[in-house]
Amino acid sequence: MGSILIHPLLLSFSNAEVEDQYVRFRTLRTLTPVDVYFLCLNFVLHAAFVALELLRTDRRDGTSCLVAVVLGLAVVLLQGGLMLYLGEVGWMKLRTSSIILFRSLRTIVSVYGVPRRVREAPSVGATSLFKNLFFGSGTLIVAWNACGMPLLFKHHLVVQSTGVALMVFLAGRRFCANTLENPGVRELFDYLWKTLDDLMVLVAGAPITSDAELLLTSRRAACFQVVVLVHMCLGFLVPTLVLWQLELQSRRSFAASMTANPMWGHVRFDDSGVPDLGRTIVVCLLGLAGIWTMVTDLVFNIPGQVSRRVEL
C-alpha cells in the first residue's frame, strides 16, 4: 500500500479505509463523550437563563429575550432526546449531520436573541463595551459551539465559517446599531478602533492610510469592521486552530497505533506536508492584518464608499 498521506489542511487520510476507521475511532473515543458533557452543561446554563429571565422585572423589549432563551433550551432538549432515541450506535452513524443541524439551530436562535439582549443592556463603560462586544455580537457563542460540538476538521471549516458569517452580518450589524446609540460608548469605541487600526497596520508593515477624522462620521462602519475582526479572531481562528491541533495529534496517535498493528505494520503514515502550528499562527496574523488594512482603505479612503458603509 506504500505511504498514507495526511492532508496538510483538512488532515484527512489519503486511504478511504483508514479514514473510515479513524472517524469511528474519533467519534467513539472523543466526540461522543464531549457531546454528552456539553449537552449537560448547556442544559444547566439554559435552565438558569430561563429562570433568570422569568425573575426579571425590568423588561425593555417585552418577552423577546425570554423567548430566545426558551428556544435555546428547546434545542438542547431536542438534541438530548434524539441522542437517547438513537442510542450510542445510532448517534455515531448520524452524529455529523445531527451536530451540523443543532449547531445551525443554535446559531439561528442566537441571531434572534443576542441583539435583543444588547438593546436591553446598553454599554456605559469600557468593561461593558468589551462584554457586549464579545457576547453581544455573538462571537463567544459561535466559538463555544465550535469547541463544545466539535466536528472533523474538514466539516468544521465549512460549518464554522458559515456560522461566523451569519452571526456577523445578522447579529453584528444590529449590535453596532444598538451599542452606538449610547453616547458614553462612542469615545471608548473611537479609541478602540484607532488602537486596533494602529496595531494591524504595524503587524502588516503598511503605512497608515486611513483618515481618522472620517471615523467620526462613519462609526457604524468602524464598529462593523471591529466586529468582523473579533469574529475572525475569536469566533473562527482561535477555535479552528485549537481543533486543528487537537485533531492532528489525534490522527498521529491513531497512525502510531495502526503501525503497531501487524496488518498495517508495512504502511508508513506521511505527515511531512502538515505545517507546524507556530508558522500557521504567524500566517494567520499577517493575513488578518492585511485584510484589516484593505478593508480600512475601502471603508474610509475610497470616494463614495463611506456613505454606503455607514448604512451597515
Q: Which residues 6+ apart lie within 8 Å of 23 measured at CB?
A: 152
Give the pLDDT of residue 266: 73
Q: Which residues 6+ apart lie within 8 Å of 14 measured at CB?
A: 4, 5, 6, 7
In order of 28, 265, 274, the CA distances from 1 in angstroms are 27, 11, 21
Confidence of residue 312 (pLDDT cuts 50, 70, 90): very low
pLDDT digits (tens, 9 = 90+) for 107-148: 888 887 765 555 544 455 556 677 777 777 888 889 999 999
Q: What's this model's pTM, rounded to 2 decimal places? A: 0.82
Give the pLDDT of residue 59: 58
pLDDT digits (tens, 9 = 90+) for 149-197: 999 999 999 999 999 988 888 887 777 777 777 666 777 777 777 777 7
Residue closest to 160 by CA, chosen among 93, 43, 242: 242
170 versus 62: the higher-pLDDT residue is: 170
For the chain, first and last CA: distance in Å? Answer: 55
Residue type, 187: E
Residue closest to 116 by CA, chosen among 166, 159, 60: 60
Query: Per DSSP, which regions of the chain are E strands?
Result: 3-5, 268-270
